[in-house]
Structures are given as C-alpha cells and as structure tokens.
C-alpha cells in the first residue's frame, strides 16, 4: 500500500463521521488577501479536506479559481456536496499539478501527517507548480506540539501518525522558496481536550511559513 493510500483509509474513516465547516483563519486570510489583490489568482489547497477553507473563499469570491486536492475520497465527496463549484481532486503520492500554473498555495496541517521523504516530494512539486512571484502559506506541527512528547512522539489518538518539524528542517524543506516570515503559532485547546490532572494537555504548536517563489 502506498503512503497516500494508507492515509486515505485513515482519513476516509474520519470524514465519514466528521464535517466541520469552520475555516482556519490564518490560511484562509492569507488566500483572501491574495485574492483581494488579484481576483484572477489561481489558488490551490494541498490537503483541503471537506473544503472548509476553499468553501469560505468561494463565499467571498464567487468567481475565484479555487482548486484543492486530498487523499480522502470521503472528504471530497463531502466537499463537493457542501461546495459544488469547487474544483477538487483526489491525489496520490504525486499531485499531478501543471508546472508554473498557480499563484497561491495554502496548506494547513496536512504535511504533518505525511512521512518526511514524501512530504519533500510534494513540496518540490508545489514549488514547480507555483508561478515566479507566487505566494504560499504552510502550517506544520512543531516539536512543541502537544503530542510530540508522547510515546514515540508521533501517535495522535484521532489522526494516527503525526510528523513534527524543527525550524531548521523546515528551512531545508523550503530552501527553494524565499521565506518571508515564520511564526511559532500556538493554539491551546482548553475545552474538549484530553486532560492530565484536570489541565488540558493538547497544544497545537506549529510553525507558519509565509513564502514566495523567487521571480
Ligand atoms: C488536519 S486535516 C486538514 C484539512 C484542511 N487543510 C484544514 O485546514 O482543515 C489533514 C488533511 O490532510 C489530508 N491528507 C493526509 N495525507 C495526505 C496526502 N498524502 N496528500 C493529500 N492530502 C493528505 C487528510 O485527508 C486531511 O484532509
């Protein structure tokens, strides 16, 4: 079984019963700003799930050119039902993106579920697909993530395998891009989280990278 087929099985089970429609602010705002500057921009989300980010962008920019891929067929069935006019496709260990075709790429919490060698191949393919001067936003779990300290550091009770990155590794992973900004982003979940001695223990620590493909 390929890595993406393994992930697809796991995420199909998740999306069969869970459908959130709330966009993730920073990824969505990044694309909103780009679209407000250039409404013709081609925007692609890697690992778009059920389309919660792209669907929100569609509600603000009805004519925008919005594309998304995911390994989970269940996620995309839900995405197509919720947002019929998004361009969503099922991807595998390659994305099949046309070189130099995209203006904006967003990714949130997808690379962190993919083994590092395959993640590096996806990043290369996305770099090639971006136009010179194109912008990208990635949010990737850091070593300070709440689950990084558990067991072998990679088991999430809901999402299975997780991969955590140190900042230096991300600088290597995105070496072809110009790194405009990096944030150390923390989202401490205070309700609905697993608790240890009454205290929430789940901290979604991640690095957010704001990137440009050099012209
Ligand atoms: C935590 S969810 C994030 C979904 C969405 N980006 C968001 O902001 O809510 C991770 C997503 O990555 C997808 N995924 C996992 N492995 C993948 C792969 N190899 N290629 C594309 N998508 C993948 C999952 O199916 C899931 O939809």
- For the chain, 215 residues long, give each residue's pLDDT as a single digit of tens: 777 887 888 888 888 887 777 899 899 999 999 999 999 999 999 999 999 999 999 999 999 999 999 999 999 999 999 999 999 999 999 999 999 999 999 999 999 999 999 999 999 999 999 999 999 999 999 988 877 766 555 556 566 678 899 999 999 999 999 999 999 998 876 666 555 555 555 678 899 999 999 99
For residue 146, what pLDDT is reported? 76
**Per-residue tokens: 166:** 């140190």
Q: Is 75 in the pocket of ligand 1 (CB under 6 A)?
A: yes
Domains of the chain plus CATH, in order, are: 3-212 (3.40.50.150)
Q: How many degrees, rounded to 5, is the angle at CA 26 between CA 22 and CA 27? A: 80
Residues with Cβ within 8 Å of 76's Cβ and at least 6 positions away in sequence, in order, are 50, 51, 70, 88, 89, 90
Q: Is 114 in the pocket of ligand 1 (CB under 6 A)?
A: yes
For residue 150, what pLDDT is reported? 63
Ligand 1 center from residue 48 Cα (angstroms):
6
User: Could you tell me how many helices (H) and strands (E) the chain has, helices first?
Assistant: 6, 11
Q: Is 145 in the pocket of ligand 1 (CB under 6 A)?
A: no
Q: Which of 88, 110, 116, 189 to mutate to test the pocket of ligand 1 (most atoms within 8 A of CB)?
A: 110
């Amino acid at each position: 079984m390929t890595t993406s087929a393994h992930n697809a099985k796991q995420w199909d089970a998740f999306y069969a019963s869970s459908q959130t429609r709330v966009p993730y602010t920073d990824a969505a705002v990044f694309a909103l700003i780009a679209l407000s500057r250039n409404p013709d921009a081609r925007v692609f989300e890697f690992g778009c799930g059920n389309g919660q980010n792209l669907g929100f962008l569609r509600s603000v920019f009805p004519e925008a050119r919005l594309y998304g891929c995911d390994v989970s067929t269940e996620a995309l069935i839900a995405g197509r039902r919720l947002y019929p006019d998004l361009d969503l496709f099922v991807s595998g260990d390659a994305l099949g993106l046309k070189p130099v075709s995209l203006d904006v790429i967003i990714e949130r919490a997808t690379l962190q579920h993919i083994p590092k060698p395959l993640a590096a191949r996806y990043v290369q393919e996305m770099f090639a697909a971006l136009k010179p001067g194109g912008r990208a936003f990635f949010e990737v779990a850091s070593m300070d993530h709440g689950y990084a300290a558990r067991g072998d550091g990679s088991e999430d009770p809901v999402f299975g395998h997780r991969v955590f990155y140190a900042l230096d590794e991300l600088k290597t992973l995105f070496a072809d891009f110009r790194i405009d900004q990096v944030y150390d982003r923390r989202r401490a979940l205070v309700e609905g989280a697993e608790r240890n001695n009454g205290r929430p223990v789940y901290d979604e620590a991640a690095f957010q990278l704001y990137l440009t493909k050099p012209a």
